[in-house]
Amino acid sequence: MRAIRESFDVVVLGAGTAGAAAAAFLSEAGLRAALLDTRPLDQAGACWVNAVPYWFYDAAGLDRPVSPEDVAPPDGALRMLPVSGGKGFEIRPAPAPTVDMALLVRRLHRRAVASGVHCFAPVRDLVAELEGPRPVAVTGIHEPGDAAPRRFRLDARLFVDATGWTGFLRGLVPTLRRDCPVPTGRDLCAALQEDCELADPEGAQAFLAARDMRPGDVAGWVGVRGGFSTRMVHVHGDLAHAGLLIGVSGDGRNGTAAALMARLKADHPFVGRGIRGGGGMIPVRRPFDRLVAPGVALVGDAACQVFPGHASGVGMGLVAARMLADAVASGDDPGAIEALWGYAARFQRTHGPILGAFDVFRRMAWDMPESDVQALTDCGFVGPGMTQVALSQRLGPVPLGELISIARGALRRPDLAARMALIGPRMAAVAAAYKAYPADPDPGMLARWSRALGTAAGVTPDVREGDA
Ligand SMILES: Cc1cc2nc3c(=O)[nH]c(=O)nc-3n(C[C@H](O)[C@H](O)[C@H](O)COP(=O)(O)OP(=O)(O)OC[C@H]3O[C@@H](n4cnc5c(N)ncnc54)[C@H](O)[C@@H]3O)c2cc1C
């Protein structure tokens, strides 16, 4: 078998949204970059439809999606519906418009290739070579569809782990293996998305009319099976297609995403044959307290850069990729811990507050019976303002009217009000902790910060003192 050996400034593992964006941005910043995936490039990353707020594209330096990549009509609404029936409330336009992920991933690949990134996909038998704690090369076999397989060895000063929640490199580099526990059970969301034909457009219109919705709007329910569970129905504006989404606790205690999807279809007989879709696990814990080690950076799901309240990771992965490129572009060694720390500190200080705070909320909701989760919306504790903040993944003001409805809800469900009153200060304390993420790569400081965060959040710290 033919063999190649090449040297790069950076090798990115994983060509989903986070990895493809990182490779493109790093290459555009002047670094010689390679991008690897175990799947063929046209199958890398998410292949379903995801909701991603437009501001993430702006912050990452990407053009906003347009049709056909952008699936949502410009003023399409999200209507949150009580599971028990009724019309709930509407947010128009929806804070997170839906996007065809295959087209977004393809756009990022094109951008990466145009900027000079060398792509290797699919690859197999990947092995990382370490010198001490630092990776120095990856080896494996590249099987391009149109040419004979070839062995490769790629040397680099920086390796980016964008391989998704299981984190291939994260599990091999000693410091990361120690400080970044693989998410399990309660820290995973099992999700399924499917785009289908509309078998009965009149039935779909009747469904929408009964809920004051228009074609193109998205219907969402929370607390459908256990505290952390959701389902969504998106009747497309063309009245020819519908998108379905299920999210449920990854530990299986509330049933499988497949069973919930079957039930969702049975409840909406106007939805017809499936056309495309996919699913998998999404990590929903806070980002790892440690995002980098010498010669390695984690981005995207591999870093748990996912909004815990609803398991959305695309936008955070894109802005993380941008921050990483900004941090390492100008130094002599892109893998130097000092340069990489700039990325970690900026990400944690900027987005840690909202991610960490909503992880507190998520953990509270996880343990609630579904009737209580539903009561959070039905009694007004979670209204359009709070939902807007959560879905846009950006802090913003909650309107006065919503505070009044929270007060009314407190009269109806004082027990829930007490629980909310307890987690409010905890969310604020966690947000404040993230603002103090260590500015420098001092192991002792990171361990102390991790412990302080753990105390504020009520979780086990990732990094323990003495581990430095
Ligand atoms: C059904 C569903 C619905 C979702 N809805 C939303 C939503 O509405 N909004 C949102 O923001 N997010 C949503 N998410 C989450 C979102 O899809 C992920 O957060 C996002 O895809 C993560 O991107 P990533 O690039 O980090 O990882 P991935 O998309 O997982 O890409 C990782 C890539 O790494 C490759 N790989 C794996 N191992 C290796 C290895 N050893 N070497 C090289 N390559 C490797 C994989 O083949 C893959 O191509 C949803 C997820 C699911 C499952």
Residue in 130, 280, 106 with CA at minimum distance from that of residue 193: 280
**DSSP H/E element including 352:** helix 337-366
CA dist., res. 224 & res. 77, Å (int): 21
The answer on pLDDT for 364 being more than 60 is: yes
Name residue, tokens 């017809």: 272
Q: pLDDT tens digit string along 235-270?
A: 999 999 999 999 999 998 889 999 999 999 999 999
CA dist., res. 330 & res. 334, Å (int): 8
Written as six digits, the tokens of 307 are 């909004």
Residue 273: other Cβ atoms inside 10 A: 8
CA dist., res. 214 & res. 436, Å (int): 45
User: Would you call 339 exposed, middle or buried from its count of C-beta atoms within 10 A (0-12, 13-18, 19+)?
Assistant: buried
Written as six digits, the tokens of 272 are 């017809």
Backbone angles phi, psi at 262, to 5 degrees: -60, -40
Is any atom of ligand 1 closer than 6 Å to the C-beta of 50?
Answer: yes
Q: pLDDT tens digit string along 153-175?
A: 999 999 999 999 999 999 999 99
Is any atom of ligand 1 closer than 6 Å to the C-beta of 224?
Answer: no
Is any atom of ligand 1 closer than 6 Å to the C-beta of 279?
Answer: yes
Which of left, alpha, beta for 24 (phi over 0: left; psi -120 to 50: alpha)? alpha
Instruction: Find the angle CA(96)-CA(301)-CA(6) to the nearest 5 degrees.
Output: 125
Task: Report the sign of the C-alpha dihedral through residues 243, 246, 247, 252, in that order.
Answer: negative
Please report, for residues 207, 248, 264, 299, 434, the alpha-carbon distance to residue 282 in angstroms, rounded to integers and kept in the order given.
30, 10, 20, 14, 22
Q: Which residue's alpha carbon is at the smallest distance from atom 43 of ligand 1?
A: 37
Q: What is the pLDDT of residue 466?
A: 61
Backbone angles phi, psi at 341, to 5 degrees: -65, -30
Q: Which domains does the chain have, with CATH numbers?
A: 2-49+103-184+287-349 (3.50.50.60), 72-100+186-283 (3.30.9.10)
Is any atom of ligand 1 closer than 6 Å to the C-beta of 314?
Answer: yes
pTM, two decimal places: 0.96
DSSP letter string, 78-142: EEE--TTSS--EEESS-SS-EEEHHHHHHHHHHHHHHTTPEEE-SEEEEEEEEETTEEEEEEEEE
Instruction: Find the angle CA(387)-CA(375)-CA(311) to the nearest 5 degrees.
Output: 40
Q: pLDDT tens digit string along 36-83?
A: 999 999 999 999 999 999 999 999 999 999 999 998 877 899 999 988
The answer on pLDDT for 347 being more than 90 is: yes
User: Cα 226 vs. chain centroid, distance in angstroms?
Assistant: 21
Segment 204-223 shows an average pLDDT of 95
Q: How are strands ordered across the β-sheet holding 78-80?
A: 89-91, 78-80, 218-222, 229-235, 241-249, 188-198, 271-283
Backbone angles phi, psi at 110, to 5 degrees: -60, -40
Name residue, tokens 């779909």: 204
Distance 282 CA to ligand 1 centre (A): 8
The answer on pLDDT for 2 being more than 90 is: no
Best mutation site among 11, 13, 35, 37 for ligand 1 pocket (most ligand atoms within 8 Å of CB): 37
The answer on pLDDT for 365 being more than 90 is: no
Give percent of the chain with pLDDT exceeding 70: 99
Best mutation site among 38, 57, 138 for ligand 1 pocket (most ligand atoms within 8 Å of CB): 38
Is any atom of ligand 1 closer than 6 Å to the C-beta of 31?
Answer: no
Q: pLDDT tens digit string along 298-322?
A: 999 999 999 998 999 999 999 999 9
The answer for residues whose C-beta is within 8 angstroms of residue 57's C-beta and 6 or more apart is 63, 64, 65, 318
Q: What is the pLDDT of residue 68?
A: 93
Q: Which residue's alpha carbon is at the smallest distance from atom 10 of ligand 1?
A: 312
* Ligand 1 atom, smallest distance to 301 CA: 26
Q: What is the pLDDT of residue 375?
A: 81
User: Would you call 395 exposed, middle or buried from its count of C-beta atoms within 10 A (0-12, 13-18, 19+)?
Assistant: exposed
Distance 164 CA to ligand 1 centre (A): 5
Segment 93-112 shows an average pLDDT of 95
The answer on pLDDT for 396 being more than 80 is: no
Q: pLDDT tens digit string along 421-453?
A: 888 899 999 999 999 999 999 999 999 999 999
The answer on pLDDT for 9 being more than 50 is: yes
CA dist., res. 436 & res. 359, Å (int): 18
User: Tell me, what amino acid is at 159?
Assistant: F
Mean residue pLDDT across the chain: 93
